A and B are shown apart, each in its own frame.
Chain A
Amino acid sequence: QQQVKQSPQSLIVQKGGISIINCAYENTAFDYFPWYQQFPGKGPALLIAIRPDVSEKKEGRFTISFNKSAKQFSLHIMDSQPGDSATYFCAASKDEGNKLVFGAGTILRVKS
């Protein structure tokens, strides 16, 4: 019940294309869903996050879509750029303790 399942493991997208990464969870107590971006040799950095009271959140080229009934959420990167090439982790947490449960990660490569 604590797992967050992330797919795909890796993704190759052409420059200018849309990158889509999906996550699914089981624990309905989760109420905070962040996405982290990690470059090689660096710590994860928060990209965008959503709470279950909204179905979509957009920040620049990055959008989270959230489907509460399906217990799924996804990250869309519009107009993908080579500089977006990184590993992306979805995560989930609940207020009590707020321990992040991470997905396994997606390695994104944007080809120029």
Chain B
Amino acid sequence: DAGVIQSPRHEVTEMGQEVTLRCKPISGHDYLFWYRQTMMRGLELLIYFNNNVPIDDSGMPEDRFSAKMPNASFSNLKIQPSEPRDSAVYFCASSFGEQPQHFGDGTRLSIL
């Protein structure tokens, strides 16, 4: 049974570059969440979708961040332009209805 799949697992890039993080949720799940985890701020919800529609993006830090879910089996989170303070582990999670969330193993992003 495949879980939530995130790619890449690690990304190192230079400041100013565009970064794209990808997520494949569990088949049949209707909610998808993007989180960011840092030592300083812990785990923060950035945005979540229900049936591919963004419901709440109040956690997106600024206009440099955008997320889309073009279909039920794929979502991406883009940062353009990237900055060193964007360095973090980004997690994608999915769930069905009110069931608990299933997390991917994250993308560790380093912006130099």
User: Is this pair of chains taken from one and the same complex?
Assistant: no
Interfacial residues, chain A to chain B (CB-CB below 8 A): none
Interfacial residues, chain B to chain A (CB-CB below 8 A): none
